[in-house]
């Protein structure tokens, strides 16, 4: 799967417009998003890292694993503790809903930690190699 297709699919899974995604990664307009999604250009490394954080996945890895059947927000398959595929249709809806909410919470916690790391790296870089002291 091409990287632009992955970006479009993940954006649509969140219910976002191209403008919403542009805002989320700090772009002033959606033109970059449009050219990425049409596979005319590829995002620069800094943008890929921002996309990874926004989506909570490594978009390049998703592009490499073309045969993958599931994206965030989709429940096509899951693997049980024994390594065998689970039939999610047999799991009660309430349990899936609770698991989904918990996964969203965990994703938000991970993103929060990543933001703190990013800020501390920025402090380190802006101080000429030494973090600012409070």
- pTM assigned to the model: 0.50
Convert the pLDDT of each residue in 77-127 to its tens digit.
455 667 666 666 666 777 777 777 888 888 888 888 888 887 777 665 565
Convert the pLDDT of each residue in 22-31 to its tens digit.
999 999 999 9
Is the domain defined by 1-74 classed in CATH 3.40.50.720? no
Q: What is the distance between the alpha carbons of residues 94 and 23, in angstroms, rounded to a whole number? A: 33
Domain boundaries, the chain: 1-74, 76-134
Q: How many C-alpha atoms does 100 have within 13 Å on its Cβ side?
A: 12
């Amino acid at each position: 799967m091409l990287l632009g297709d992955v970006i479009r699919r993940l954006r649509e899974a969140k219910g976002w417009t191209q403008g919403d995604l542009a805002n989320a990664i700090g772009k002033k307009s959606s033109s970059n998003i449009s050219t990425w999604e049409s596979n005319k250009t590829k995002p620069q490394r800094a943008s890929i890292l921002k996309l990874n954080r926004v989506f909570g996945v490594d978009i390049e890895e998703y592009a490499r694993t073309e045969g993958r059947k599931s994206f965030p927000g989709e429940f096509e398959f899951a693997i049980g503790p024994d390594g065998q595929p689970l039939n999610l249709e047999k799991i009660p809806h309430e349990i899936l809903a609770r698991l989904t909410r918990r996964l969203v919470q965990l994703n938000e916690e991970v993103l929060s930690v990543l933001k703190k790391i990013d800020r501390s790296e920025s402090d380190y870089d802006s101080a000429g190699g030494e973090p600012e002291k409070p």
